[in-house]
Chains A and B, each alone.
Chain A
Amino acid sequence: MDTESTHSGYSYHSSRSGRSNRHGDRSRERHKASSSKDSSRSERSVVINPPDTPSQESPVHNGEPLPGEPTPAEAPGDDGQDDNWGETTTAVTGTSELSISQEEVVGLGKGIQDRTQGFRRYLPLAVGLCVGLLVLATPLVFLLLPAVMWPDRLQACGAACEGLFLSISFKLLILLVAIWALFLRPGRASLPRVCVYRAFLTTLTLLLTMSYWLFYGVRILDAQDEDYHGIVQFAVSLVDSQLFVHYLAVVLLELRHFKPSYSVCVMRSTDGETRHYNIGQLSIQRAALSILEYYYRDFPVHNPALLSASKHRAAKHLAGLKVYNVDAPGSTAGAQPGNGNQSRAMVTAAAKRKDNAHNELYYEEADYERRVRKRRARLVVAVEEAFTHVRRMKKEDEQASPSDIMDVREAALAIFPSMARALQKYLRTTRRQHCHSMESIQKHLAFCLVNNMSPKAFLEAYLSPGPTLQYGPERWMADQWTLVSEASVTSGIKEGTEFLLRCLDFSLAVTVKGIPYIRLTEEYIDAKSHKFLLLLQSETSV
């Protein structure tokens, strides 16, 4: 096809076939979701839809990898199983920009989809605003309409009405603040299905308001009631009912979730990290949301580089088991016993390799431990030495030459080179070099200098992997989660519920168990009942 396709630099990295087909499928799924952004940019060319974020395997930070890091090689794109072959193209031909092709039409359609995605995010807010306005305006309208439509026939009511006006105004103010606090906050997540309780409450509110309007229309507007006191009381009762509905909303939407009734076990599929949490009565999607928030707080960041060792072992294991018979069975009858011997030899070799696998693993791990400890020792010494070169300026140093006085950024840059090499080697050994860029390390160093931290405190960030949020946004992948569940996601969690939260490279398996019903009994002990015996064993010589 004669199309122009634009690459961004990221697509090279994303199509690396390190984890070939699986990754390729994922990147195509991402293409579908994020293609619209690019297509809306240029109407005349179809773009290869790059992912929004670089992949986990080969991220780049601000375009610069760590010094000494080998630049990622360009790998050929993997076009193995392309489910969306009709929607994307990978042709790189330098043709004119004037050609329009079928894909562009599809791309326009994707532009519309993108706008609806944004719309969906603000839909709950819009609905909340509309219902809130209706709820707040209705009592005021109830009060104003008689005064506007038949003012001469209205009976003036004195202090009682004024009291009721005051109470209406304060209750409306409270209702306004309460509605804002509960419903009009920006949503912190977008869930796959509508929350059942929210829909129920919205319906209830609308029903209530509509029934009040009905009664108002029939009894008051049609009949042109003159008793203003009664009308005001009618409006006050509406506001009261709305306040109670809001109370119900607080109980259903907020309070129910706090009392812990279930204990969930969350396990990451790649490295088996497991955590347990207590959550309350929630729907599956809300529970998934809570668990994801806990995930971002508690789980150490996912590091695919640490999993390659076990994959190699698995690959070797599989390779050792295959025994090929290269020669065709009937070709040379004389070579048959030779073939039998050969295959037997291969089987025994494979068996021996299997026996040695645990040996290899043991020595490999011991060696790795030793290497890590050696590098760590060098790193600690280098950092401590670097920190001795810098000191906070005191009063008496003001006479020092101005070239020695520097601000924190310059100080960090000055002492960074002496520890950079040791740090980089350590990170390479523990396979975490892609989590930290040079700039982030310098920034952290400046932060530690400003807050008078010790070298050990500075190093802690690099010695152990922290939670995912500590690293840059390209690691978060907050928009890539999929909830996989056999039960409907708006149903509540029960004992034995299981579901899966799938991200790109890994998934979180969640199992739910109920917290047992605890029966606590009491036992009264009188303080005087603590009595003791002395046990002797004496030996007397006679």
Chain B
Amino acid sequence: MSFIPGQPVTAVVQRIEIKKLHQKDNLILGFSIGGGIDQDPGQNPFSEDKTDKGIYVTRITPGGPAHDAGLMMGDKIMQVNGWDMTMVTHDQARKRLTKKKEDVVRLLVTRKSLEHAVKQSMGSSPGLKHSGATYNHNLMQ
């Protein structure tokens, strides 16, 4: 999940679709995020590379929409509804997730166990189609 500046970022991602929940005229998703390019990456407990300034899921409300959709704590969010989340400030990330006009957010998240699973499955049977998608993003764009 680390990146080399100038090189495309490659990660194994999982698509997660979360339907927002109406709660007291707020639309909530049921998780908390941390990170951002304006934050201190060294304090992030979930990142492997302590210079990674991406957005991470820090907490999931049990029984909430995110939990039901399969989001897990420690996931790094790569895209939200097509918008990139790898190089955004904390506030921008929050805004993109809490747009009142959208009922559903489609996230692309990555986690370490995904890579392991893919590697194992690729190692055991090379031709098998895997459920996750590979995420390519050129940071120079």
Contacts and interface: CB of A to CB of B under 8 A. Distances in A.
Contact of A539 (B28, B33, B97, B98): B33
B29 interface: yes
A95 interface: no
Interface in B35-63: 38-40, 42-44, 58-59, 61
B22 to A, nearest CB: 14
Contacts, number: 40
Contacts of A538: 34, 39, 90
Contact of B33 (A535, A536, A542): A542
Interface centre among A535, A539, A540 (most CB of B within 10 A): A540
A541 B31 contact: yes
A87 to B, nearest CB: 85
Interface string A157-169: 0000000000000
Contact of A537 (B43, B59, B61, B94): B43
Contacts of B94: 540, 542
Interface centre among B29, B39, B42, B59 (most CB of A within 10 A): B39
B85 to A, nearest CB: 12
Interface residues of A, number: 8
B32 A537 contact: no
Contact of A536 (B28, B40, B58): B40
Interface string A515-542: 0000000000000000000011111111
Contact of B44 (A537, A541, A542): A537
B59 A539 contact: yes
A536 B39 contact: yes
A539 B43 CA distance: 12
B27 to A, nearest CB: 9
A540 B43 contact: no
Nearest to B42: A535
Contact of A541 (B40, B42, B59, B90): B59
A536 B32 contact: no
A539 B32 contact: yes
A542 B97 contact: yes
Contacts of B44: 537
B29 to A, nearest CB: 5
A540 B38 CA distance: 14
Contacts of B31: 541-542
A539 B34 contact: yes
Given A536-B38, A537-B34, A542 B43 contact: no
B46 to A, nearest CB: 12
Contacts of B33: 539-542
Nearest to A534: B40
Nearest to A537: B43
Interface in B15-30: 28-29
Interface in A225-277: none
Contacts of A540: 32-34, 90, 94
B43 A535 contact: yes
Contacts of B58: 539
A538 B44 CA distance: 10
Interface in A16-59: none
Contacts of A539: 32-34, 58-59
Contacts of B42: 535
A542 B32 contact: yes
Nearest to B80: A542
A186 to B, nearest CB: 72
Contacts of A536: 38-40, 90
A257 B98 CA distance: 81
Given A540-B90, A542-B98, A535 B32 contact: no
A539 to B, nearest CB: 5
B87 to A, nearest CB: 17
Interface centre among A540, A541, A542 (most CB of B within 10 A): A542
Contacts of B98: 542
A540 to B, nearest CB: 5
Contacts of B43: 535, 537
A381 to B, nearest CB: 57
A541 B97 CA distance: 10
Interface in B97-112: 97-98
Nearest to B32: A541
A186 B81 CA distance: 100
B39 A542 contact: no
B64 to A, nearest CB: 10
10 interchain residue pairs of minimum CB distance: A535-B40, A541-B32, A537-B43, A542-B97, A539-B34, A542-B29, A540-B94, A539-B32, A539-B58, A542-B98
Interface of B: 28-29, 31-34, 38-40, 42-44, 58-59, 61, 90, 94, 97-98
Given A537-B39, A541-B31, 17 more contacts: A535-B39, A535-B42, A536-B38, A536-B90, A537-B34, A537-B44, A538-B39, A538-B90, A540-B94, A541-B32, A541-B59, A542-B28, A542-B29, A542-B31, A542-B32, A542-B33, A542-B94
23 contacts: A535-B39, A536-B38, A536-B39, A536-B90, A537-B39, A537-B40, A537-B43, A537-B44, A538-B39, A538-B90, A539-B32, A539-B33, A539-B58, A539-B59, A540-B32, A540-B94, A541-B28, A541-B33, A542-B28, A542-B29, A542-B31, A542-B33, A542-B94
Interface of A: 535-542
